[in-house]
Structure 1
Amino acid sequence: MTDAGRATPKKRPLRRRVALLTVALLGAGLIAVEAYAISPSVRIAVADVWEGVGASGRLVGMLSDSDERVRAVASSALVRLGPAAIPACARGVEHPDPRVRKFALFTLGQLGPPAKIALASILNRATNDPEPDVRKAAIQALPNVVDENSAATTTLAGILASGDTDGRLAAVKALGHPKLQSADGVAALSRALKDPAAQVRRDAAESLAAFGPTAAVAVPALVDALRDPEADVRVEAAETLGSLSAFAKSAVPGLIAALKDPHPKVRSEAAEALEQITRDWGDGEPTLRQLALDALAQINREPAP
């Protein structure tokens, strides 16, 4: 057959050909280099070779490296390998080394919905792993992996009820993700407005803003949060109430009271929330609207701080 009639073999990318040649020449020696090389830069070069040949299992093993740069390079390489790396990462979630579990979970989160085959392991690590950093990594991975999964919402709600502070912080942020928004999530975040940690309370109020009208049932809890001892929480509660617009009309008396808050940022957010809530009322709610307008007029007359 002439060259014209012969199928042209598809060439591998140069990087992959070099990696394959390196493995062919060094064989088991490359594994020894990975294990005993003192310089992190050498181990990073080995990770590059493993990526070139698609050796996801070797890369997962490198997630236990003593140098964070090497672990980060290995994790990035696994992400670039895409769905082919998911089985190895799923095994990494069960690894005895917590560094491997943490980076394997992070990588699964980066790989997105195809990684949902590992969801059961991720949920288990989110609640049962003995290492706080691993639990946090599992929680952070959930929104990227799941697809409107009620089990994930239930798990996160449980973490809010009994987890450590870092875990609760990660959970309130995860519950605000579009894939995990649900009535159960609103209820869990409403309860989190009473969390002992101020940052959790603040982030819970912020996450509720992402729900839009669905968060209307949280208005009473947000109004209570306007009296939180921490100004940052009060600011976020007022801002979230404003984002709910007319769905938060029952918050008007609480927001009017917040106009007398000792913190200027709280007063400012309360005034803005009142403006947002009453903007489209017309004459439908004359009493509440007049209360809001009077309060706004009063704050506008106050001298600037």
Structure 2
Amino acid sequence: MNNNTHKKLILAPKIAFICLSVILPLIGNVKAQTTINSEIISHVEKLRDTDKVKRLETVRELRKIGVPAIPILTAALQEKEQQIRGGAAFALGAIGPEAKTAIPQLIFMLKDEDEQVRLDAAVALRRIGSPAVPALTEALKDENVLVRKGATFALAGIGAEAQQTIPILIEMLSDNDEQIRLNASIALRGIGTTATPALTEALQHKNPLIRKGAAIALGQINTEISQVQNQQNQRDRLRPNPCGTLPNLCAPRPNFCTQIPNLCAPLTNPTPTAPTPTPRQTPLPRT
């Protein structure tokens, strides 16, 4: 047996051991993932339940699983049964920003034939938050009124993180759909004072619908500013007033001329008083 053959015989068991040490954890991970997937699918099936309480409990369980549940829930958005579609969307929203990979499918669901599913998709997008803003901005331009309505509804709940949508939301104030106009006003209101300059300019717009929507949004923003100012004023009133405490250090110095006796008063001659006349006594008659 030459040296090369001897070395191969020695290395072969070592290589086999190394391969097994790599493969076995992978097999374990695959089994673990298979178990988790089975659990997720089981929970998704429970979304069929007509009992709202049980469905909410299922959503909580899916939320606990978190990121591993996202692919299966995204696939469930295409189920025929509306309860599974809506429940899957709601669950993705509960997971939050980490479910951003589901955004395109959720945008598509804004035109779902079922109203509740559309609402669940819009709520999911607003809960995912800022990662959904670019896609929602594009959805505002969609020809489908349902998509525009759902997009404005979602943006209305995202708030200040949607400030990049201010120009197009102002345009949406003139949309043909009344609900979209209202949603756009609420979204601009939620963005807050960052939208104030653009809204102030919109007050001069030739379109009366845009002027009206801007006024609504600004009215609420100004109300919120007034509330903050009132709170500050209340805090100021609660501060102790040093002039209201004893001793009163802010009071003027005492004027000794106002004390009794009044030593500073000018001397005056007393006015003579007439003597009181003594009544005359009538003498008694002699007897």
Corresponding letter in the other structure for 2:189? A
Q: What residue ranges of structure 2 are gaps of 5+ in the alignment?
A: 1-34, 230-287
1:111 has 2:95 as partner: yes
TM-score under structure 2 normalisation?
0.53
> 1:171 aligns to what?
151
Instruction: Measure the CA separation in 1 of the matches of 2:170 and 2:37.
Output: 49
One-letter identity of the residue aligned with 2:197: A
The within-5 A match list for 1:8-87 is: 55-87=39-71
Q: Aligned runs of 1:69-218 on 2, under 5 Å?
A: 69-127=53-111, 129-145=112-128, 147-149=130-132, 151-159=134-142, 162-164=144-146, 168-176=148-156, 177-178=158-159, 181-183=162-164, 185-211=165-191, 212-218=193-199
Aligned equivalents of 1:103 and 1:199: distance in 2?
Answer: 25
For the residue of structure 1 that corresponds to 2:141, the secondary structure is helix
Which amino acid letter does the alignment assign opposite residue 131 of structure 1?
D
Instruction: Provide Cα deviations, 1:250-282, integer angstroms capped at 9, x if missing partner.
Output: xxxxxxxxxxxxxxxxxxxxxx79x9xxxxxxx
CA contact (8 A) 1:186 1:208 kept: yes
Number of equivalent positions: 191
Q: Which residue of 2 aligns with 1:48?
A: none
Whether the aligned pair in 2 keeps the contact of 1:93 and 1:105 (CA below 8 Å) is: yes
Q: What CA distance in whole angstroms lies between the structure 2 residues aligned with 1:238 and 1:72?
A: 37
Distance 1:222 1:100 in 2: 45
Query: Percent identity at matched positions?
Result: 22
Question: Which amino acid in structure 2 is aligned with residue 221 of structure 1?
Answer: A
> Which residue identity is paired with 1:171?
A
> Contact conserved, 1:109 with 1:142, CA < 8 A, in 2?
yes
Q: Distance in 1 between matches of 2:205 and 2:221?
A: 11
Decide whether the 8 Å contact of 1:226 with 1:235 is kept in 2: no
Q: Secondary structure at the match of 2:175?
A: coil
CA deviation after TM superposition for structure 1 residue 52, in Å: 11
Is the 8 Å Cα contact of residues 97 and 129 (structure 2) preserved in structure 1?
yes
**Counterparts of 2:203 and 2:224, CA distance in 1:** 11
Contact preservation (8 Å) 2:107, 2:139: no
* TM-score normalized by the length of structure 1: 0.51
Task: Tell me: CA distance 1:179–1:61, structure 2 relative to 1, closer, same or farther (3 Å).
Answer: farther
Q: CA, structure 1 residues 80+194, in 2 after alignment: closer, same or farther (shift >3 Å)?
A: same
Displacement of 1:97 after TM fit?
Answer: 0.7
CA distance 1:162–1:120, change in 2 (3 Å): closer
Distance in 1 between residues matched to 2:103 and 2:46, nearest whole Å: 23
Alignment partner for residue 221 of structure 1, among 183, 192, 202? 202
What RMSD, in angstroms, separates the aligned Cα atoms of the two structures?
3.9
Task: Assess if the C-alpha contact under 8 Å between 2:82 and 2:117 holds in 1.
Answer: yes
Check the 8 A contact 1:109/1:144 in 2, yes or no.
yes
Distance 1:133 1:188, change over 3 A: farther
Deviation at 1:143, TM superposition (A): 3.1
Contact 1:101 1:134 in 2 (8 A): yes
Tell me: CA distance 1:179–1:227, structure 2 relative to 1, closer, same or farther (3 Å).
closer
Segments of 5+ residues of structure 1 without an aligned counterpart are: 1-50, 246-271, 276-305
**Structure with bigger gyration radius:** 2
Report deviation, 1:172.
2.1
Question: Which residue of structure 1 aligns with residue 25 of structure 2?
Answer: none
